[in-house]
Amino acid sequence: MCSEKYSFETLSVTEPSKYVYQVEMNRPTKLNAMNMEFWSEMRTCFSEIAGDPNCRVVVLSGSGRVFTAGLDLKAAGDMLLSHQETEVGRRGFLLRSLIPPMQESFTVIEKCPKPVIAAVHNACVGGGIDMISACDIRLCSQDAFFVIKEVDLGLAADVGTLQRFRSRVFSDKKTLLAGALDLANSISKKSPVAIQGSKVNLVYARDHSVQESLDFQVAWNSLMLQSEDLPKAVMAGMQKEAPEFSKL
């Protein structure tokens, strides 16, 4: 079971199998709309997971009939109305200060060294697409649909969709989650040194040249090739057994 540090208002964190955490948006009566607490709790949740040796892979899902309706417009409106500043320049600085923390709420997913699998069913709207764009693998059910809602509101998406953005389709939510957890279980049995190292290098390669990325990989593996996981994996392969890797 996950510890009390994963007790949240808008998220449910469970451990469906060894080394696999399921982070589920948990506002089903509000269609998992992203209120102000959600953004803060996402940063806290994935920051904790990043250093949790009991977690090797994460499945990100939504409770209820939809994945997420995106930004909670009422909560966002109430928050803006609570600030009385009307002068354009000062109000602009206020708005500018609100966006980076929201961006960071999804950047922590990308920065998390543990692979994150998004399991999308039904509606994935606005901020939901920003969020899954930061995940490493995206799976969806046949009823899934995606709406970049910001443009309908007169905005350019500003929390990651335009900078980051399905690989398998499942018949319904039940088989979707089963498929996502099956994939997560498979990943969780691999060397955490290899899995987390792969993610670090993939993220690095996105913003660097091929040669820079190759050089970074050389530096990375000059240390990681000394890991106990390599001989463990080789020996297990020779003996046709499943290796058991230490926590990272």
- Give residue 56's pLDDT: 97
Could you give the residue ranges of the DSSP H alpha helices within 149-241? Answer: 161-164, 173-188, 192-206, 210-224, 229-238
Cα 234 to the chain's mean position, in Å? 31
Residue 145: strand pairing partners:
123
CA distances from 165 to 39, 73, 114, 115, 135 (A): 20, 23, 19, 16, 10
Tell me what pLDDT residue 46 has.
Answer: 98
pLDDT tens digits for range 212-226: 988 888 888 878 878
Q: What is the pLDDT of residue 140?
A: 94
Residue ranges of the chain whose pLDDT lies below 50: none
| pLDDT (0 to 100) of residue 99 | 81
Domain spans in the chain, listed from the N-terminal domain onward: 4-188, 192-238
Chain segment 9-42, per-residue pLDDT in tens: 999 999 999 999 999 999 999 999 999 999 999 9
In the CATH hierarchy, which fold is given to the domain comprising 4-188? 2-enoyl-CoA Hydratase; Chain A, domain 1 (3.90.226)
| pTM, rounded to two decimals | 0.80
Whole-number pLDDT of residue 65 = 97
At residue 166, the pLDDT reads: 52
Q: Angle 209-210-211 (CA atoms, 0-180°, nearest 5)?
A: 90
Question: What class does CATH assign to 192-238?
Answer: mainly alpha
Nearest to 79 by CA among 64, 94, 68: 94
* Strand spans (E) along the chain: 11-17, 20-25, 57-62, 116-120, 123-125, 137-141, 145-147, 168-170
**How does strand 57-62 pair with strand 20-25?**
parallel
